[in-house]
Amino acid sequence: MGRVRLGIIGCGVIGTHHLQAATACPDIEVVAVADRIAARREAARQNFGVQCLHSEGLDLLADPAVEAVVLAVPAGDRIELPEVALRAGKHVLIEKPTAVSCQRLRAYLAAQGPRVAASCSSRYATLSSTQAAAAVVASGALGRLRTVYCRNFSPAGPPPATSPPDWRLSRERNGGGILCNWGCYDLDYLMTITGWSLRPRRCLAAAWPVGEPFRDHVAPGSDAESHYTGLLLCDGGTVISLERGEYMPTTGQSAWAIIGERGSLRLAMTAQGGPAVWHDEGTSDQGVVSHPVWDQTEDYAVVHSGPVTDFAHAILTGAPPRTDLRRALLVQTITDAVYRSASTGTAVEIDA
HSE of 293 in the Cβ direction (CA atoms, 13 Å)?
A: 23
Kind plus residue range of the DSSP H or E element containing 82: helix 81-87
Task: Using alpha carbons, select from 106, 15, 85, 86 the residue that is nearest to residue 325.
Answer: 106
The DSSP symbol for 201 reads: E
Q: If DSSP codes are grouped into helix, strand and coil, which group holds residue 331?
A: helix
Segment among 42-56, 99-113, 159-173, 216-230 with least mean pLDDT: 159-173
The CATH 3.30.360.10 portion of the chain extends over 124-300+332-349
| pLDDT number for residue 351 | 82
| pLDDT number for residue 301 | 84
pLDDT level of residue 286 (50, 70, 90 thresholds)? very high
At position 221, the amino acid (one-letter code) is G
| pLDDT number for residue 111 | 97
pLDDT level of residue 276 (50, 70, 90 thresholds)? confident
Q: Over 70: is that where the pLDDT of 275 sits?
A: no
- Averaged pLDDT of the chain: 94
| pLDDT number for residue 105 | 96
Query: How many C-beta atoms lie closer than 10 Å to residue 68's C-beta?
Result: 24
Angle ∠(80,83,88) on CA atoms, nearest 5: 120
Q: Over 80: is that where the pLDDT of 352 sits?
A: no
Angstrom distances, CA of residue 219 to CA of 11, 158, 162, 166, 216: 21, 15, 9, 5, 7
d(C-alpha 94, C-alpha 147), whole Å? 30
Fold of 124-300+332-349: Dihydrodipicolinate Reductase; domain 2 (3.30.360)
| pLDDT number for residue 272 | 61
For 13-65, write each residue's pLDDT tens digit: 999 999 999 999 999 999 999 999 999 999 999 999 999 999 999 999 999 99
Task: Report the pLDDT averaged over residues 156-163.
Answer: 89
| pLDDT number for residue 273 | 60
For 37-46, write each residue's pLDDT tens digit: 999 999 999 9
For 136-148, write each residue's pLDDT tens digit: 999 999 999 999 9
pTM: 0.95
Phi, psi (5° rounding) for residue 10?
105, 110
Query: If you classify domain 4-121+304-322 with CATH, what class do you get?
Result: alpha beta
At position 123, the amino acid (one-letter code) is R
The CATH 3.40.50.720 portion of the chain extends over 4-121+304-322
